[in-house]
Structure 1
Amino acid sequence: MEEQLKQIFIDCANPDTTIRTQAEANVNNFKASDYPAFLSTCAQILGNPQTADLPRSMAGLVLKNALTCKDSTERSNLYAKWSSVQPEIRQNIKNLTLAAVASPSPAASGPAAQVVAYIAAVELPTGQWQDLIKNLISMLQPQSPDGQKKATLEALGYICEEVDSSGLKPHSNSILTAVCSGISQNQNPEVVYAGCRALFNTLEFIQSNFQRDSERDTIMGILCTAANSPHIRARTAAMECLVQIATLYYRYLPPYMQTLFGLTVNAIKQDEEPMALQSIEFWSTICDEEADCDYDQYDKRESHHFIRGALPHLVPVLNECLTKQEDEPEDDAWTVVSAAATCLSLITATVEDEIIPFVMGFVNQNINSTNWKLMEAATLAFGSILEANKDKLRDIIIQALPVLLSHMSSQQASVRDTTAWTIGRVCQLHGEIATSGIQHLVGGLGNSLNDAPRVASNVCYAIHYLLEQYVEKAQQPTNPVSPYYSALLGQLFNVIAREDGSQSNLRVSAYETITVLISAGADDTLPTLHQAIPHFIASFASALGSGSSEEKIELQTLLCGVSQAIIRRLPPQALQAPVAGTQSPPLIDRFMELFLSIPSSHSKPTPAHEDALLSIACVVTTIEGEFVKYLNHVMPFLLAGLSAAEDTAFCQTAVGLVGDISRAVGKNFAGHEQVVTIFVQNLQNSAINKDVKPAIICAFGDIALAIGADFERYIPTVMNMLRQAGQTTVDPLNDDQVEYLNQLRESICEAFTGLIIGLREGNGNLQVFFPHIEWIVQFITFVWRDPTRSDALNKGLIGMVGDVLSTFGKNTPSIFFPELKAIATECSKMEDADIKQIAMWCLDMLKKYGA
């Protein structure tokens, strides 16, 4: 098999597609026919120094792919398959791959380092291959060849990246010592680079080492030395470690900040771009950490105010970085310019208006420069600090807007692009100031919608946020948008039709701006909107046809957004009228037809399916009970969404739509309760995303409220689902899990209230709840004792107390009265008026029943 596989591996790299495809098929056939023998042969090829580089490299790649993949489920299957191989065969493979790490050929040692790590990911957590770390460290002797040191450090780095930290705790000290020695005792830059990459992957599980001054000093000293390496890869990797340390160990930085300040500022000023980028990232990370200290009242960390102290020295250096533009920049490229602008924004978020004087001097000096790079840099600097104190910026912005608008006619596209972005930031963050000059802004920006795609896209962004200021003022006879509505709509239609509309997200930006324009239009713009609707309808119908899948999905999604804006903006009578200038059915019928055509335009669920459901929800909200005429047409689409448990967004949106429809059509939802069966199946499906479950539980209550007594036959099943959900537990120290548990419990309270009220008002048999009364009270009292419960949950729990007492009355077992009374008494003392009112009602009932 070995000679055959060697040739097959060579063929796998053949440029001839036919040969390569056949070779890949042969690899899979060998793997399927005798998996252990296949792995053993690959390891023999990888470990054989007499074999050529290409088959050795391919053998390592195939071995790696036999041990891991991106999909977590499939990866677990691969782990299990490896573990099923006989121990002696596995040991032989491990010996061969470990020996290959020491190979002088990088074609073998590099892949072998990865294979070792992926085997370790399977075996170390289960207590196997316990001598691996010791054997690797023994390969890092001072006299070892540099290639061996490099590959060994790579292996240690991969292991630290792939293996759960709990499996490495026993080895953390020896790994750290070996890696630090590998960095500090070598001159070879590739060895230093590999050591820094390995150290980066150890940082999360060496907390105890970092708490000890001497060890921390050693680590920081080694990294600061490596960050001064004459080789760019080595010093950049060292700086990446320092950035990670700023995230993980911010509290320990004060003794080192003087050194780090000099190191980073010098690198930003004069080093190559990779190192300059990491040095800027260091300060951006410091901003994040200090903003978190100030923002999170529960965070026990103390801010060292490094940013405040560095302002006078750091900001001028970042301002200077903004002048280092390329003559023809690539769209979305991450450069020193974009990194510096982002850092200035983060500094602003950290120290607010304290940054203003350090930036505005640079802005005032260069904003009208004849050198376009200085002009653009000043504009970008100004745009980057717009999140500072509004009062402090007000006069500055008022003075700046005319200057910025004049820059929209610059000969340089980069200046126009950055200026449009900056004006957009003004409109987004300082809307009150922007609206005071709407006539100048619309006039100055509208003409630039014909500019290059990246400029026009930012112009759309600016107009979008300018118009957003008027959305809440739309339901008026007229507003300041009205004089520009028709012209803007026409200009945006032209943007959509541009052949280069796919560049720089231009077409998407234009559609989103149209959506906001429709929402912001006052009553006197409705005739113009009516005239435009046939254009939208035709575009939507066209988007249902053939075409690129991604383009079609994007277009359908955007048109759903526009359609929702139209439905919300038009008065109800207009929705019931035909499309303007036609004898077609009512407009709302045409929209529903388009929304329901989206599923048939795709072979599988897409993001457009979710938007179609959201659009239908918009119709439900708008016409309410009249939606019943569409119910039978919608149900197949809705049931498909509910059954798509693997597509979280589609399923969750469908669940929400069930609640909307059932509330809107009431008793007319009877006969469609098959959704209850699907809900139960989804709750029992361990593979479904947990975030869908609270919505499903709430929907039980919505359906019960809608169909009343007809829901009675589902009560035993649903109450069992509530009971199972109520038994969910989480880690009380994990904020995300606690938040989820509160949501789940709130949904149980809401569902129970819906079930009770639905059956009571529908004249159902409330006796069906009596078998569950003990669990209901136990749930209330158990959750009440949880100190992590939310305020919303307090309201839900006291509501359940009221439901129990009003439903069961004197039949409520008196043994529960003391605890229910204690809960109601405590709620009666809360500040929330609704909670107090319900609590007083509960206390009156308890008194009435002799509690």
Structure 2
Amino acid sequence: MSELVQILEKTVSGVPTDQTAALEFLKQAATNNFPEFLKQLSVVLASTETVHYVRQAAGLQLKNVLVAKEEETKSIFKERWIALPADVRQVVKENVIRALGTETTRPSIAAQCINAIAGIEFVYEQWLNSIDILMSNVTNPSSTEKLKESSLEALGYMCQDIISPAIEAKANPILTAIVHGMRKEEPSDHVRLAATNAMLNALELTKQNFENPDERNIIMQVICEATQAPHSQIRVTALQCLVKIMSLYYNFMEQYMLRALFPITVEAMKNETDEIALQGIEFWSNVCEEELNLAAEAEEAQEQGIAPQHVSRHYAKGALPHILPILTQTLTKQDEDDEDEWIPAKAAAVCITLLAQCTQDAIVEQILPFITQHFGNDNWHYREAAIMAFGSILEGPSALILHKLVEQAIMPLIGTLNDAHAAVRDTAVWAIGRICDTCADLVTRPETLQSLIPALFTALHQEPRVAFNVCWAISSLAKAAYQVAAEQGTDENGEPATYILSSVFQQMVDELIKTTDRTDANTANLRIAGYEALMELIKNSPQDCYAVVQQTTLIVLKKLEQLLNIEHSLVSASDKAQLRDLQSLLCATLQSVLRKMHREDVPAISDPIMAGLLQIMQRCVGKESGGVMEDALVAVTELITVMGVQFGKYMDQFKPFLLAGLINYEDPQVCLAAIGVLSDLCRAFEGQIFPLMDEFMAHLLKILENTTVKRTVKPHALGCFGDIAIALGANFARYLNTTMDWLVNAASAAQISNPDDIDQIEYVELLREHCIAGFTGIVNALRGQNELALLLPHVQNMVQLIDMVARSGSLSSESLQASACGLIGDLVTSVGQPILPIVETEPILQMLQKCRRSKHNKAKTLAQWTTREISRVKKQV
């Protein structure tokens, strides 16, 4: 132990060589004799004779060999702990419990070690009595302040980190300890704060307690009392509890709203301490979000002809006259240099936005006096607050009221782009962008644009923060103009012939390119905003701006060439990172341009485009490319889409980079982009890709076999089988059995074991979607009579996946259900009468019926087509 103490001292010595040697020693000790290593660490942690920083170092080392962020390492650590002899584990557990309350530093490292051990043992229903021990530590009158505090910290960590039925079953003793520690009679602020933090982490576990009125009253009482504590951090944390409760248990809050929650949160909103005011505002933002969700649920229930499960109590509407004056006054408390700081003024703007969506027309009359009174105020704080208030209410009121409001405000608002204060100009541009999003017809009037366009061009040369919002406003304006023109008529490609911005389109492109070249364009993300606006401008361009779009391609290529030429001369990591960002932006801009290009015009510029992209990819292979490789591959995808089979002339040069992308497991985004390129090649080349397919298939199978590949990549590889099958047709038989094995295994693994685990549901959805895409492609490829025999052995497995989707109900998205309906139709068309008995089951028929009634166009169309196919086959019989 004495040797271990000396080593632990060196880990915090501040001498780099000593630290490195000490950490290496500890690593070897853990490898050579893990049981003894853990025991000795726990002994040092529990030793009150040892200096505090060495004890803390021992606790840190102990925790670090038990917990990890990466799933694979976490699993290894878990198995290693459980494999230890029971007596070793018992000694370690006793020591970490014994260390509680004896530490002289905060927070308790022993509490963190208890959490680490419990996180493993609770999964196996072991060491559950640790919660009873911790509860006893808190409720025992003879316990010291430190023992109570550290025990509560341990309970808080457990509630935060451990997801297990075991901890849910222990909700009552956990709550007993927390409520005891939170009482206003508790003399120690440290204990009370630890208890309040633990309550914040425990709220998800208390569903059953909240359903019991008596228990709910006790919980609400201690939290509400804690919001009045003299210690400001206890008040802040207690208010955070109320914010969270409003999201979790809205339907139980009616009896507390008027007597407690309303006065407590209104008082908090007025508080001079930012942290307290922020929580008061956040509470009402949460109320709005819950009531917006309830309104959406009520609308959905009405459409289905059923009663909603929960109803809105319209607290936001009732509180509006009381909280709106506080919020508008809070808007005026902004600082000049608070751009990156979350302050009450910003939170108030968000809350007003949500209130507008929640209360709709009701907010206009109440906020308008503040806006009109302060729009021209001599104090810039009030001018900016008035404009912020105006911009914040644009989403919510009815079209008629909004139209009147904007019509009165638009010209004065354009005038404020010349304001003396940058914050006022910044917010004014943002508000104009919001108007473009909500009132396209008003902002695109010639008389409005006559003032607006020159004002935006001038503002583009102002401070980066202002110019950033101008870029966004130009994007919104381009979308609005395109939308208005498209409503008046489009050609067969869905493009309008012209629009209101055509005469200034060239100038807008020029001004944005100048903005991206500004010497201060790295500030406030201005360069990124400039290129994003340029992309939106190109995307939303009518036919008569096509020549400018073509010209923009040449400008982008020239910039790309310049960047490639200077890359070798850059030395600093910062300069290289900025260059990579710029290359990514130029690749993304090329994507936008290529989407607009006419097929017949592409061959004239494809050589320089491909040369530039190949050069970029050459420099990225095997290096950390900061997203450049991904953007270059996506740009290639656009080139393939527009060139079709003519892209074949670049395949010899491009194929090595595509293959390198497919095996780039360390960068999942690059791997995904490469899979996307392969899918597009299949669509473009069709059967002509067959000679290359053995190599590509081998790489796809390696993705599926490799255990280090991020799991979200693998579904895309499975979906790619469908694109390959459609391209190859009957030739796909060569790969049929291998791909079917992978698809069937993946489909059977696509199970939802925990309906509350959002990550799991999203992953299963992704996996099922791509399995269905793979199956659909294969069915269509082998539809011919000669290949039908190859397909039949696999039909039952496909229908099992469809059945799983149908039985998942609301856990399956409409998009996934639509794809499943489409696969049914393809199977019925291909196989005919023999398949009817296995697809005409109650779950599948109910899914078809639901999709036929859907507002989702894809679901409705596919379900109707599938139903017709089933009827057609039945008639033939």
Report the Cα offset of residue 208 of structure 1. Answer: 1.4
* CA distance 1:765–1:261, shift in 2 (3 Å): closer
Are 1:114 and 2:112 matched, yes or no? yes
- Aligned length, in residue pairs: 828
Deviates more, 1:73-82 or 1:714-723: 714-723
Partner of 1:630: 650
Amino acid at match of 2:598: P
Amino acid at match of 1:243: V
Amino acid at match of 2:613: F
* CA distance 1:339–1:781, shift in 2 (3 Å): closer
Partner of 2:692, secondary structure, is coil
Partner of 1:768: 790
* CA distance 1:486–1:759, shift in 2 (3 Å): same
CA contact 1:331–1:504 (8 Å) conserved in 2:
no
Amino acid at match of 1:237: T
Partner of 2:407: 398
Distance 1:656 1:344 in 2: 42
Partner of 2:4: 5
Q: 1:755 aligns with which of 761, 778, 788?
A: 778
Report the Cα offset of residue 313 of structure 1. Answer: 0.6
Deviates more, 1:750-759 or 1:214-223: 750-759
Distance 1:778 1:117 in 2: 42
Report the Cα offset of residue 453 of structure 1. Answer: 1.4
Partner of 1:364: 372
Distance 1:37 1:778 in 2: 51
Amino acid at match of 1:236: V
Are 1:432 and 2:455 matched, yes or no? no
Deviates more, 1:703-712 or 1:253-262: 703-712
Report the Cα offset of residue 44 of structure 1. Answer: 2.3
Partner of 1:151: 150
* CA distance 1:189–1:821, shift in 2 (3 Å): closer
Partner of 2:618: 600
Partner of 1:798: 825
Q: 2:452 aligns with which of 424, 441, 447?
A: 441
Partner of 2:421: 412
Amino acid at match of 1:417: D
Report the Cα offset of residue 683 of structure 1. Answer: 4.4
Partner of 1:276: 277
Deviates more, 1:30-39 or 1:274-283: 30-39
* CA distance 1:752–1:114, shift in 2 (3 Å): closer
Distance 1:786 1:208 in 2: 26
Amino acid at match of 2:124: T
Distance 2:582 2:527 in 1: 9
Q: 2:383 aligns with which of 375, 388, 394?
A: 375
Report the Cα offset of residue 306 of structure 1. Answer: 0.8
CA contact 1:781–1:819 (8 Å) conserved in 2:
no
CA contact 2:668–2:709 (8 Å) conserved in 1:
yes
Q: 1:590 aligns with which of 590, 608, 618?
A: 608
Q: 1:572 aligns with which of 596, 599, 616?
A: 599
Are 1:461 and 2:472 matched, yes or no? yes
Distance 1:783 1:445 in 2: 50
Amino acid at match of 2:457: G
**TM-score after normalising by structure 2:** 0.87
Partner of 2:294: 293
* CA distance 1:312–1:413, shift in 2 (3 Å): same
Deviations along 1:431-458, whole A, 9 cap, x unmatched?
A: 2222222232221111111211111111
Are 1:355 and 2:355 matched, yes or no? no
Distance 1:139 1:199 in 2: 17
Partner of 2:165: 166
Partner of 1:662: 682
Mapping of residues 213-228 of structure 1, within 5 Å: 213-228=213-228
Distance 2:81 2:700 in 1: 38
Distance 2:518 2:215 in 1: 61
Question: Where do 5+ consecutive residues of structure 1 fail to align?
Answer: 578-586, 806-811
Distance 1:112 1:146 in 2: 15
Partner of 1:382, secondary structure, is helix
Report the Cα offset of residue 363 of structure 1. Answer: 0.7
Query: What root-mean-square deviation, in Å, do the aligned CA atoms of Structure 1 and Structure 2 show?
Result: 3.1
Are 1:650 and 2:649 matched, yes or no? no
Question: Where do 5+ consecutive residues of structure 2 fail to align?
Answer: 302-307, 487-494, 854-859
Identical aligned residues as a percent: 32
Amino acid at match of 2:677: L
Deviates more, 1:360-369 or 1:685-694: 685-694
Mapping of residues 490-529 of structure 1, within 5 Å: 490-529=510-549
Deviates more, 1:130-139 or 1:772-781: 772-781
* CA distance 1:828–1:799, shift in 2 (3 Å): farther
Mapping of residues 696-711 of structure 1, within 5 Å: 696-711=717-732
Distance 1:395 1:536 in 2: 42
Deviations along 1:545-604, whole A, 9 cap, x unmatched?
A: 355454244222211121122223333343322xxxxxxxxx112212222333332314
* CA distance 1:747–1:370, shift in 2 (3 Å): same
Partner of 1:203: 203
Distance 2:774 2:584 in 1: 32
Amino acid at match of 1:431: A
Are 1:314 and 2:314 matched, yes or no? no
Amino acid at match of 1:769: L
Amino acid at match of 2:458: N
Amino acid at match of 1:768: L
Deviations along 1:63-118, whole A, 9 cap, x unmatched?
A: 222221222221222222233333323222222221221215226x7111111111
CA contact 1:596–1:634 (8 Å) conserved in 2:
yes
Are 1:80 and 2:79 matched, yes or no? yes
Report the Cα offset of residue 134 of structure 1. Answer: 2.2
Distance 1:522 1:38 in 2: 71
Report the Cα offset of residue 781 of structure 1. Answer: 7.3
Partner of 2:240: 240
Partner of 1:257: 257
Amino acid at match of 1:214: D
Distance 2:451 2:754 in 1: 53
Partner of 1:561: 588
* CA distance 1:71–1:703, shift in 2 (3 Å): closer
Amino acid at match of 1:571: H
Report the Cα offset of residue 776 of structure 1. Answer: 5.8
Partner of 1:255, secondary structure, is helix
CA contact 2:358–2:396 (8 Å) conserved in 1:
no
Distance 1:146 1:152 in 2: 10
CA contact 1:372–1:412 (8 Å) conserved in 2:
yes
Deviations along 1:305-328, whole A, 9 cap, x unmatched?
A: 1111111111111111101112x3
* CA distance 1:571–1:30, shift in 2 (3 Å): same
Distance 2:436 2:142 in 1: 64
Are 1:50 and 2:49 matched, yes or no? yes
